[in-house]
Amino acid sequence: MGFNVYNFCIQDSPRRAHSIAAQGGINAAKCYQNDGDSIYRLFYDTVKGGDYRAREANVYRLAEVSNNIIDQCVAQGVPFAREYGGMLANRSFGGAQVSRTFYAKGQTGQQLLLGAYSSLSCQVKAGKVKLYTRYEMEDVVIVDGRARGIIAKNLVTGKLERFSANAVVIATGGYGNTYFLSTNAMGCNCTAAVQCYRKGAYFANPSYVQIHPTCIPVHGDKQSKLTLMSESLRNDGRIWVPKNIEDAKALQAGTKQGWEIPEEDRDYYLERRYPAFGNLVPRDVASRAAKERCDKGFGVNNTGLAVFLDFSESINRLGLDVIMQRYGNLFEMYEEITDVFPGDVANEINGVKYYKPMMIYPAIHYTMGGIWVDYELQTSIPGLFAIGECNFSDHGANRLGASALMQGLADGYFVLPYTIQNYLADQSIWGKVSTDLPEFDAAEKAVDAELDRLLNIKGKRSVDSIHKELGHIMWEYVGMGRTTEGLKTGLKKMHELEKEFDENLFVPGTKEGLNIELDKAIHLRDFFTMGQLVAFDALSRNESCGGHFREEYQTEEGEAKRDDENYFYVGCWDYKGKGNEPELIKEPLEYEAIKVQTRNYKN
């Protein structure tokens, strides 16, 4: 489009962004399955999936451009799975009763990223994009109230550098790693977003955090990462726990195995509770249902904190070959981590073969909250835009599977290229902004002072030991089930731990050259700000909706109880300084096309 772009990333190549982790697929309303899908239906499912807390107009635009994304990616050479006849294949994801998810085996994100990267490379060759790899944005520079550049740290030399621009776009991902253990890549951080927030960009709906139901359970306290088992597995895998508490106890004690429990003694609790959607209920619903069973003592695994995901029925029906074609790399990944191959037959009862089930449990996965943006994806700071997971835009209180890639690519390919021009239209009068301006000077000095501060604490605790403790606080008090009292305790504990961070952190080395511990310390400083923000938002929202579950607000059946009268708004937070409660600004939601009602996945 003729823009001259500086592109920054913390990895050695933008091709290695966290998006390569995306496994299951990307949604679009092409209706290739002739199953009644439409743009309206994708729009409706997404709004309903988000528990009626997304902006209606944004979601409609997202559904409208979804089909263009698939065409764009195919043109870039993305090898989507195809039917025998050549049509692009689809599978189902949660919260939808149609098959609209396009996929490339279990590597959809990687293939989409390779497509995007080849297009980016063309622009690099054309001289329109200059790549800065292994650079981390540490601050946004505001001149006369507008974003005019950034301060970035060269992660290899340690040097701080100034870059000016007519506009700044952040696409820096989510804040799931605030919880320490998550399915996100280890390098994912929220430093850029939090720094923009500190500089005046509102942060919207931080309490909407997604807990994914199908992850490999935590297996010890030395772990630093959790592994997702894609939601696509719920197309053919059935989730269950034992019906009888004695069986659950025997499984926990290791005296019985899952495949020894016959069909009639299994509780396929999602199919029982939600007959219309069964195993394909949205993630928030599936996660809570797993927690409910485990809390009641029916969990499996030696910890009692797991449920089974079982492929016996589908392998018996379709054969292992078909299942391996669909999920081969996921089965192999599961085997590599747990030493159990879910395609191994383990028992036969009354002529029915039973295969070794996977064990899964909910884990932090995605963040629906993010930097507030308007319809043009501009933040509350003019000239600063936010796209992809780091903004809050389209998923409301809960994101449906395969919709993050759809939204990220919609933002980047089909929304921002047009809306940013509205901002840039009157910017030519500015010419090139000088990096010698006092604002750049002040921003660079402030970042430098922070690096010195962290290095000079010279305490006794490593970054990871404090981060792990923060993660425990987040999971315990700001996790899957939240209460007023718990959130207040969590905030107090976070406050104390942040003090410990400020007084007892140890960062080895110097700021010159590569210093990964120093980089992690900066990230942790910002996870503290983020964790408190999540808790403030959760405390202020006296209702349950989507990924935000306040135990005080639930129906008799344990479903989320919304309060549309008082909380039908986007909660935008304005930073008021370290240690101070930020100010809540409410953006009322307006629905014209969709009737706001209680979510129902039962019938």
Ligand X SMILES: Cc1cc2nc3c(=O)[nH]c(=O)nc-3n(C[C@H](O)[C@H](O)[C@H](O)COP(=O)(O)OP(=O)(O)OC[C@H]3O[C@@H](n4cnc5c(N)ncnc54)[C@H](O)[C@@H]3O)c2cc1C
Residue type, 216: I
Return d(Cα 146, Cα 597) in angstroms, integer. 40
- Name the DSSP class of 256: S
The active-site residue out of 146, 283, 293, 562 is 283
Site for ligand X (CB under 6 A): which residue of 60, 180, 277, 366? 366
Q: Is there binding between residue 183 and ligand X (CB under 6 A)?
A: yes
Residue 7 in tokens: 């592109």
**CB 476, min distance to ligand X, A:** 22
Which one of 76-84, 184-192, 242-250, 547-555 is the stretch in contact with ligand X (CB under 6 A)? 184-192
Q: Quick one: tokens of 280?
A: 């394909």
Among 15, 19, 486, 582, binds ligand X (CB under 6 A): 19
Segment interacting with ligand X (CB under 6 A) among 69-77, 187-195, 323-331, 338-346: 187-195
Distance of closest approach, residue 452 Cβ to ligand X, in angstroms: 19
Q: How far apart are CA 229 and CA 309, in angstroms?
A: 10
CB 208, min distance to ligand X, A: 13
Q: Which of 96, 141, 147, 192 binds ligand X (CB under 6 A)?
A: 192
Single out the segment in contact with ligand X by CB under 6 A; choices: 11-19, 431-439, 494-502, 530-538. Answer: 11-19
- Shortest distance (Å) from residue 368 CB to ligand X: 10
Pick the closer one to ligand X by CB: 172 or 205.
Answer: 172
User: What are the residue ranges of helices labelled H in 347-425?
Assistant: 404-409, 416-424
Distance from C-alpha of 124 to C-alpha of 130, rounded to nearest angstrom: 6
Residue 202-231 contact track with ligand X, rule CB under 6 A, x = bound = --------------------------x---
C-beta of 108 vs 301, nearer to ligand X: 108
CA 104, CA 90: separation in Å to the nearest integer?
A: 10
Q: C-beta of 462: minimal distance to ligand X in Å?
A: 22
The pattern of x and - marking residues 94 through 123 that bind ligand X according to CB under 6 A reads --------------xx--------------
Is 143 or 190 the residue whose CB approaches ligand X more closely?
190
Length of the chain: 603
389 touching ligand X, by CB under 6 A: yes
**Residues in region 496-535 near ligand X by CB under 6 A:** none
Torsion of CA 338, 344, 348, 349, to 10 degrees: 50
Q: Which stretch binds ligand X (CB under 6 A): 5-13, 417-425, 506-514, 595-603?
A: 5-13
Cβ 195 vs Cβ 140: under 8 Å: yes
Residue pair 203/393 in contact by the 8 Å Cβ criterion: no
Q: Residue type for 545, please? A: C
Stretch that binds ligand X, among 59-67, 324-332, 396-404, 425-433 (CB under 6 A): 396-404
For residue 369, what are the contacts with CB-CB under 8 A and spacing of at least 6? Answer: 175, 203, 204, 205, 206, 207, 208, 209, 392, 534, 537
3-state secondary structure of 159: coil
**Which residues in the 423-452 window bind ligand X by CB under 6 A?**
none
Question: What 3-state class would DSSP assign to 349?
Answer: strand
Closest CA to 6 of 187, 189, 166: 166
Q: Could you give the CA distance from residue 170 to residue 186 in angstroms, rounded to a whole number?
A: 19
475 binds ligand X (CB under 6 A): no
The residues in 145-174 that bind ligand X, with binding defined as CB under 6 A, are 171-173
Find the shortest distance in angstroms from Cβ 152 to ligand X. 7
- Least Å distance, CB 103 to ligand X, is 8
DSSP conformational letter for 218: P
* Closest CB to ligand X among residues 17, 143: 17
Q: Between residues 19 and 287, which has the closer beta carbon with respect to ligand X?
A: 19
Q: What are the start-end ranges of the E strands in 226-314?
A: 238-242, 266-267, 307-310
Q: Counting contacts by CB under 6 A, is residue 582 touching ligand X? A: no
| 490 scored as a contact of ligand X (CB under 6 A) | no
22 contacts ligand X (rule: CB under 6 A): yes
d(CA 359, CA 342): 10
Residue 11 binds ligand X (CB under 6 A): yes
Euclidean distance between CA atoms 294 and 309, whole angstroms: 14
Number of residues that bind ligand X (CB under 6 A): 38
Whether residue 482 lies in the annotated active site: no
Contacts of 542 (CB under 8 A, 6+ apart): 550, 552, 553, 563, 566, 567
427 burial level (CB within 10 Å; 0-12, 13-18, 19+): middle
Task: State the minimum distance, in angstroms, from the CB of residue 192 to ligand X.
Answer: 4
For residue 46, state whether it binds ligand X (rule: CB under 6 A).
Answer: no
Alpha-carbon distances, residue 87 vs 82, 84, 90, 102, 178 (angstroms): 5, 8, 9, 11, 41
The H or E element spanning position 380 is none
Candidate residues 21, 318, 584, 596; the one interacting with ligand X per rule CB under 6 A? 21
Residues near ligand X (CB under 6 A): 8-11, 14, 17-19, 21-26, 108-109, 136-137, 171-173, 183-184, 188-189, 191-192, 228, 365-366, 388-390, 402-405, 408
List, by residue number, the catalytic residues: 283
